[in-house]
Amino acid sequence: PTPSVAFGDISPSRGEIPALARRAAVLAKADLTTEVVGEFPELQGAMGRKYALLQGEHTLVAAAIEEHYKPQGPSDRVPTDPVSVAIALADKLDTLVGFWAIDEKPTGSKDPYALRRAALGVIRILVENRVRLALTSLFDRAYQMANYLASGPAFSADLLAFFHDRLKVYLRDQGARHDLIDAVLAAGSRLISPSRGEIGQSQNDDLLQIVRRVLALGSFLDTEDGRNLLAGTKRAANILAAEEKKKTTIAENVEPALFREDTEKSLFAAVNQAEKEAGQAIHNEDFSAAMLALSALREPVDSFFERVLVNDEDQAVRANRLALLARIRAATDQVADFSKIAG
């Protein structure tokens, strides 16, 4: 059967590649009907490639027929040719979408259909080939094309969460800290416009971008500025969490006219600048630059906590200072949820 994912959407190049991918998709499973593969199942794909070459198919089509099963394990190589990448992704995604649609998911240690391996294969193909892919749009496309009866949004969210779990395993095996992964995923679950308080679409369906964010965050936290900003940000977040729990009034917007200390003014100006620069850097997908923009908050945050009592007796001043702390949290949340980072 032809995988139901749209090949033109996932092929990493244009021109004749989509046509070759469609042809490879038609032939990808044809060798399963042959007596050779029936007798020796381990030859599936390899025999398909030989048959394709014998009947004059394009060499990229023949290669994709063999390579679309890859990677079959952590030591197996991933396909790199665009046609093979497209078919390998389509085959694995189609399998995962189909099993999710009928609510057949891995449970505990049981995974009879090797769905965890399929998801890890998708992750490795995307990351190691540096392919950008919005997974939820593909889930929805495959779901709609197959007329599955599952609930669309919940179905896609649940499958994406499964990919996040597999990505955590993959990144931990690569040496990444689990708390940094959680921090990036938590921040990516919402697109924040701190000055307006808007929440938009998730960023977390682009696995390559998540990996880049985690790497940039890890490098930043290895610096003195990163460690100190983490401490200041966590302090701000803890104060806010405590006051929110007590239902203390927090101003919706920071009002400069209520500032009493120069450090408040300095922090407000620094937050505005860092928020703008970090937001632009993230828009440009330059996560190292985003971290650099946030590092400018280190000194004004430290000075603020050294010289300012947040819980002032004046309710309006207190609410304004809490709003300023909320701006710190919102600015850093553009990159990661610092409250989830250990240290």
- The dihedral built from the CA positions of residue 42, 78, 5 and 202, taken in this order, carries a sign that is positive
The model's pLDDT over 206-260, given as tens digits with 9 standing for 90+, comes to 999 999 999 999 999 999 999 999 999 999 989 999 999 999 999 999 999 999 9
Cα 284 from Cα 290, distance rounded (Å): 10
Count Cβ atoms below 10 Å from residue 316 Cβ, excluding itself.
13
Q: Other C-beta atoms within 10 Å of 236: how many?
A: 24
Token output for 148: 């599955």
The answer to whether the CB of 247 falls within 8 A of the CB of 174 is no
* In the predicted structure, residue 270 carries a pLDDT above the cut 90: yes
HEC string for 178-218: HHHHHHHHHHHCCCEECCCCEECCCCCCCHHHHHHHHHHHH
Whether the per-residue pLDDT at 153 is higher than 50: the answer is yes
Per-residue model confidence (pLDDT) at position 3: 45
Cis peptide before 71 (omega within 30 of 0): yes
State pLDDT tens for residues 105-125: 998 889 999 999 999 999 999
pLDDT (tens digit per residue) in 281-299: 998 989 999 999 999 999 9
CA atoms within 13 A on the CB side of 180: 20
Region class of 145: left (phi > 0), else alpha (psi between -120 and 50), else beta: alpha
Q: Does pLDDT of 161 surpass 90?
A: yes
CATH class of 192-340: mainly alpha
Contacts of residue 69, Cβ cutoff 8 Å, sequence gap at least 6: 44, 45, 88, 91
Q: How far apart are CA 68 and CA 90, in angstroms?
A: 9
Position 201 confidence tier, pLDDT thresholds 50, 70, 90: very low
Average pLDDT over every residue of 119-143: 91
Give pTM, 2 decimals: 0.84
CA–CA distances in Å: residue 237 to residues 210, 218, 221, 313, 329: 23, 20, 17, 21, 6
Task: Locate the domains of the chain by residue range.
Answer: 7-175, 192-340
Cβ neighbors of 63 (< 8 A, separation 6 or more) are 49, 81, 83, 84
Mean pLDDT of the chain: 88
Question: Please, which pLDDT band fits residue 147 given cuts at 50, 70 and 90?
Answer: low
| pLDDT at 314 > cutoff 50 | yes
The pLDDT tens digits of the residues spanning 29-80 come to 999 999 999 999 999 999 999 999 999 999 999 999 999 999 998 889 999 9
pLDDT of residue 102: 85
Q: For 168-189, write each residue's pLDDT tens digit.
A: 999 999 999 999 999 999 987 7
